[in-house]
Amino acid sequence: MTPEALQQVAKAEKDAIARQPQRIGVCTAAGCLSCKSGEVLKNLQTALERRPDIPYRAAGVGCMGLCAHGPLVSVEPDGLLYQDVKPNDVPALVESLATKPLAEKRCDTTAPFFIRQTKVVLDKFDVIQPERLESYLAAGGYTALMDCVTRRTPAEILDEVKRSGLRGRGGGGYPTGLKWETVAKANGARKYVICNADEGDPGAFMDRSVLECAPHRVLEGMAIAGLAIGATAGYIYVRAEYPLAIARLKLAIRQAEKFGLIGDHICGSAFSFKVEIRLGAGAFVCGEETALIASIEGRRGQPRPRPPYPAERGLWGFPTLINNVETFANISAIITRSADWFASMGTATSKGTKVFALAGRIQNTGLIEVPMGISLREIIYDMGGGAPGGHSVKAVQTGGPSGGCIPADQFDLSVDYESLKKLGSIMGSGGMIVMDETSSMVDVARFFMEFCKSESCGKCVPCRVGTTQLHHLLEQVRERRASRADLARIESLCDMVRTTSLCGLGQTAPNPLLSTLKFFRHEYEELLVDNHAEAPR
C-alpha cells in the first residue's frame, strides 16, 4: 500500500472513533487475562448488545499498568478507570454507564502511579487494540516508517538515533546509534536485524507487555533499523514461554505484510524488509547475543568469545544488529517527535524514559514508564506505594540475576545507567523486585546464584563450576555451617568468576551476592559458625 492509502485507513479508523466516542477498553495483556479479563470483555460485549439504549462499545486494549488491581477497564470519553473488575461485576458496570460511575471500583488515576509516568514505549497502550493494525495506524503508528521510507536517507536516520542519545534497553546500555552505525559501516553481502525478546530475568515482564500490547511498534522500529543499516531481513527471538506475545506478533507480521509495511517494497518503495519469528526453548543464556545467534542458526545456544562482535560477524557470519524489544519500541517516537525531544528527557548520559516492572513486596505491582534520572524513592514509595501490610521496604533488586540489591537508605539514587552501576547493580532490562524486612538477603543471593547455576550453559569452567561452588557455599552459610574462611572463599571465588567467565551470564552472576554482601554483610556474618569468636577485623 502507498503511504496515501495507509493514511486513508488511519483516517477511516479515526472517523469511526469520532462517530463512536463512547468506548470501553478492557486490558487484554497476560496479567489481566489471567484474572479473567477475557471473560469480562465477552460479558461486556453481550450485555451492551442487549442494551441498545447504552451507546458504549467494548474492545480489548493493551496494558494499563496497574497489574496489582487487574482486570482494569477504562471508560471513554468519561476518563474513568475501574480496577479489580470481575466477570460478575459486568451488570453493575453496564448499569453505571447509564447512571453514575461505580464508586467502589474506581481507580484513582490522579495517583502518583499514573501521573508521574512519561509514556513513550507504552504510549497509547490504553487505546491501541493489539490485534488490529488499523487501531495502531489511527494512533499514529507507522508514520515514522513511512516518513523514513519516503523522505529520509539511512544517514539521516542514523544521525537522528545517534542524537537522541538512546542507549540499549536490554541492560548493557550501549549507545544504540553507535551500534547501528557500526553495522551500517560493516562490510557484508547481507545484513540482519535481530530483536532480542528472550526476556528471562525473574520478575521482569516489560518486553512481554510491549509485544502483547503493541507488536507493531516493535516491527516498525525493526524496519526503520533495517533501512538505516542496509538489512533486508530481521528475526524476532522470543521465548516460547510467552504464547500470547508470540500469537500477537505472528498476527501483527501477517497484517503488516498485508498492508505492505513489512515484506517486499515497503510502502511502494525500493526498500524490502522481511521479519520472521524464532522461538527460544527456555534457556536464559540465549538472551546473550552470541548464544542467541547460535540458537537462531539452529545450533546449541552457547555463547562464543567476543570480539568479533555481531556487528562485524553475526548471524551466519554477516554483520548483525541486535537490540532489545524496548529499544526498538523507542525508535518510532524518536523519528516522529525528533531526537531533541527524546534527548530533553532523562539525565546527561541516560536519555529518554525506561519501563520498569514492579514486583515483589510492593503495593502497586505493575508496569511503569518513567523518565531516566527519577529517584528510586519516587518509584518505590510514591508510585509503588511502598510495601504492603505495614511492612517496611528493605531493598530493591534491579537487573535480575546480573544486577544487585540496593538498600533502602540509598533510595535517593537517581535511576540511570551510571549511578546504578556505581552501587554494584545494573539498569538491566527493567525488573525491580522489592523486598521488605522479612526477606533474608542471604536467601536472595542464594536464589539468584541457583538461577545462574542452572542456567549456565556449561561451556566455560568458571561459570559452570564456579556458580555451582558458590551456590553450595551459600547453602552452607544459610544452614549455619560456614566459617569466616568460607566467606573469604566466597569473595575470592566471586572475583574469579566475574573476571574470567566467557559471557555476560558468568561475568555478572556474582553481582547479587556481592551487592548483598556489600550492604548486608551483617546478615551473612550472623549466620557464620565462628561469628562469636574473636573477630579478625
Partner 1 sequence: MNPATTAKVITLTIDDRSVGAREDQTILQIARENSIHIPTLCFLEGLTPAGACRLCLVEIVGTSRVLPACTTYATEGMVIRTTSPALEAHRRTVIELLFAEGNHICAVCVSNGNCELQDLATELGVSHITLPYLNPTRPVDASHPRFTLDHNRCVLCARCVRVCDEVEGAHTWDIMGRGVDARIIADLNQPWGEAASCTSCGKCVQVCPTGALVEKGKAVAEMRKRHALPKLITRQQEHGS
User: Shortest distance, CB of residue 304 to partner 1, whole angstroms?
Assistant: 7
- Considering the complex, state which of residue 365 and residue 467 has its C-beta at the smaller distance from partner 1: 467
Cβ proximity of 273 and 262 under 8 Å: yes
Are 441 and 523 spatial neighbours (Cβ–Cβ below 8 Å)?
A: yes
* Beta carbons within 8 Å of 185's beta carbon, 6+ residues apart: none
Residues 421 and 50: their CA atoms lie apart, in Å, by: 57
- Distance between CA atoms of 36 and 465, rounded to whole angstroms? 44
At its nearest, how many Å lie between partner 1 and the CB of residue 494? 11
Cis peptide before 71 (omega within 30 of 0): yes
The least distance separating partner 1 from the CB of residue 320, rounded to whole angstroms, comes to 19
In the complex with partner 1, the residue whose CB is nearer, 348 or 488, is 488
Dump the DSSP string for 278-327: EEE-S-GGGGSHHHHHHHHTTS------SSSPTTTS-GGGS-EEEEEHHH
Q: How far is the CB of 182 from partner 1 (least distance, A)?
A: 17
**Coil, strand or helix: which one is 150?**
helix
3-state secondary structure of 396: strand
Judged by the rule CB under 8 A, the positions of this chain that interact with partner 1 are: 283, 285, 300, 304-305, 307, 453-462, 464-469, 472, 489, 492-493, 496, 499-502
For partner 1, give the closer residue by CB, 422 or 472: 472
What's the min distance (Å) between Cβ of 319 and partner 1? 18
Q: In the complex with partner 1, which residue's Cβ is closer, 63 or 457?
A: 457
Which grid cell sits at 421? 552501576
Measured between alpha carbons, how far is residue 519 from residues 275, 396, 482 in Å?
A: 45, 12, 19
Q: Do 278 and 193 contact (CB within 8 A), yes or no?
A: no
Q: Which lies closer to partner 1 via its Cβ, residue 436 or residue 455?
A: 455
Closest CB to partner 1 among residues 175, 308 = 308
Nearer to partner 1, 236 or 503 (CB): 503
The least CB distance from residue 500 to partner 1, in Å, is 5
Q: SS3 for 393?
A: strand
The dihedrals phi and psi of 23, each to the nearest 5 degrees, come to -130, 140
Q: How far is the CB of 93 from partner 1 (least distance, A)?
A: 48
Q: Please report how close the Cβ of residue 324 comes to partner 1 at its closest, in angstroms.
A: 22
Nearer to partner 1, 265 or 472 (CB): 472
